Structure 1
Amino acid sequence: MENKLKILICDDNIAVHESLSAYFKDENMECVSVFDGAEALDKITNGHFDVIILDIMMPKMFGTDVCREIRKTSDIPIIMLSARGEEFDRILGLELGADDYITKPFSPREVVVRVRTILKRLKPQNASQISQRCIVIGEMTIDVEGYEVKVSDKKLKLTPKETETLIYLAQNRNKVLTREQILNRVWGYDYFGDTRAVDTLVKRLRQKFPASDKGFEIKAIYGVGYKLEVHP
């Protein structure tokens, strides 16, 4: 019997829990509800979850601080919620390591779709869906099916979207990819039409690589996008 996916919903609004829990239950997913940031961090530290739905404005501990703490030890997918919808919130959430961002009010069905999208990307793909199972570039090895990246045999702790971006760049090495192409491939839909989400994600990805020469470089192409340039 297949285990149910387990979702942690962290929000101080009971209506959010009621609406999301009903939809997730219909999708045969198990939900756990917490109502403040401190409780959220405790649940995450002491339990296993497949996805975290995390509100930014919560009592005791902001969602941004919870996200920052999670990313010190875990690459679990995180979808952040906010009632404000300000540009600052979206970019800040991505900088801290969130995988997605949804502005309130939202459709519970949309949240379920985004959860499904993230989890689908983490599943192993068959041979017809990928061009290579393993990509080796310089000191880097990418296990495409296992979503695992190693540099000089040391595993990098990357979020799902960081890994997806790196795979896309590596599969198109030495080729310039526009921000729109990356946005469409990694998010799979129009992410508020905001290509700065790509800049934030690539910046975070670069910071996770060791400082020494790795045999490649993720280069920004001014006014266009990015490319993974392989050193000769």
Structure 2
Amino acid sequence: MKSILVIEDDSTISELQRDYLEINGFEVQVAADGEAGLAMCLSGIYDLVILDLMLPKLSGFEVCKKIREKQDIPILIVTSRHEDIDVIRGLGLGADDYITKPFKPAELVARVKAHLARYERLVGRKDTKNVIQIRDLTIDADTRKVFVNNEETVLTTKEFDLLYFLASHPNKVFSKEHLFERIWGVDALGDIQTVTVHIRKIREKIEKDSASPDYIETLWGAGYRCRG
């Protein structure tokens, strides 16, 4: 049974989430503030985190950042805010997806199932090209680790998937729309701005100068490609 951690200070919302997730076969635990949620998450027993952004004691942004420093599990942020900058910030800190309040419980359950299934496929994936080497960049598909100049750099699940996909097709240009469908899924809810955010975060982690990248190039009006 998959274990879900809900970090939400509104008990009405967290109880609704727990009820629907438990009905669908998940084990659910709830934390009512950021500090408690982070401590519970770092125990390492959860398969996915549903994280509210506006939390007491420690904000959802900080919780997301600290989880990503230690763990590579799906994070679904839930926010009552409608400003794009909050969504972009959450995705930039390592969240995999977002859902805006008010939401339909069935939609939340569907998102959870989709991200768990995708994560299992990606983690369990075997590939004939287990290690990709591009100059000083090494990408290991089996361990899902990335090294720059032999030093490991930690990528989130979606950052790794995006980098691996581009590196697996060197010098080929992919549009934002294609990358969004390939990495997030054709039925994923969201927008292609997610791709831009993740490309920026990847560059910050693997490039000597993210403003003048050696690996992930932008072709204005066309998309992105990985220089082989």
Structure 2 match to 1:217: 215
- Equivalent residue for 2:87? 90
Report the Cα distance in structure 2 between the residues aligned to 1:49 and 1:187, rounded to whole angstroms. Answer: 21
Partner-residue secondary structure (3-state), 1:169? helix
The one-letter code sitting in structure 2 at the alignment partner of 1:221 is L
2-side partners of 1:23 and 1:152: how far apart? 46
Q: 2:39 aligns with which of 15, 19, 42?
A: 42
SS of the aligned residue for 1:12 comes to coil
Report if the CA contact (8 A) 1:37-1:58 is conserved: yes
- How does 1:87-126 map onto structure 2 within 5 Å? 87-123=84-120, 124-125=123-124
Which letter does structure 2 place at the counterpart of 1:217? Y
> Comparing 10-19 with 161-170, which one deviates more in the overlay?
10-19
Once residues 167 and 74 of structure 1 are traced to their aligned partners in structure 2, the CA distance between those partners, rounded to angstroms, is 19
Do the aligned partners of 2:207 and 2:215 also contact (CA within 8 Å) in 1? no
Structure having the higher helix fraction is 2
Structure 2: distance between partners of 1:157 and 1:111: 28
Offset, 1:67? 1.3
Q: Cα RMSD over matched residues?
A: 2.3
Distance, in Å, in 2 between the alignment partners of 1:8 and 1:186 is: 24
Flag the 1:131–1:177 CA change in 2: closer, same or farther, 3 A.
farther
Normalized against structure 2, the TM-score is what?
0.86
Shift of 1:125: 4.9
Q: Match for residue 165 of structure 2? A: 168
**Aligned residue type for 1:94:** L
- Which residue in the other structure is 2:148 paired with? 151
Deviation at 1:101, TM superposition (A): 0.9
* Cα separation, partners in 2 of 1:76 and 1:95, compared to 1, 3 Å: same
Secondary structure of the residue aligned to 2:70 is coil
Work out whether residues 75 and 157 of structure 1, in 8 Å CA contact, stay in contact via their aligned partners in 2: no
- Tell me the distance in 2 between the aligned counterparts of 1:169 and 1:90: 24
Aligned positions, number: 222
Q: Give 1:190 deviation, angstroms.
A: 4.6
Q: Residue 63 of structure 1: CA displacement?
A: 0.6
Q: CA deviation at 1:97?
A: 1.4
What SS class does the counterpart of residue 84 from structure 1 fall into? Answer: coil
Which secondary structure state, in structure 1, belongs to the residue aligned with residue 172 of structure 2? coil
Query: Which amino acid in structure 2 is aligned with residue 18 of structure 1?
Result: E
Report the AA paired with residue 103 of structure 1. Answer: T
Q: Deviation of residue 131 (structure 1)?
A: 6.2
SS at match of 2:16: helix
Q: Report the CA distance between 1:119 and its aligned residue.
A: 2.4
Give the structure-1-normalised TM-score: 0.84
Give the AA of the match of 2:100. Answer: T
Q: CA 1:178 to 1:79, structure 2 compared with 1: closer, same or farther past 3 Å?
A: same
The answer for unaligned runs of 5 or more in structure 2 is none
Cα distance change on mapping 1:190 and 1:29 into 2, 3 Å: closer
Letter in 2 for 1:171: S
Q: Deviations over 1:129-175 (max 9, x none)?
A: x5644433333333335433333443331111111111221122101
Structure 1 segments of 4+ aligned residues over 6 angstroms from their partners: none
CA spacing shift, 1:126–1:182, aligned 2, 3 Å:
closer
Worse-superposed segment, 218-227 or 37-46: 37-46
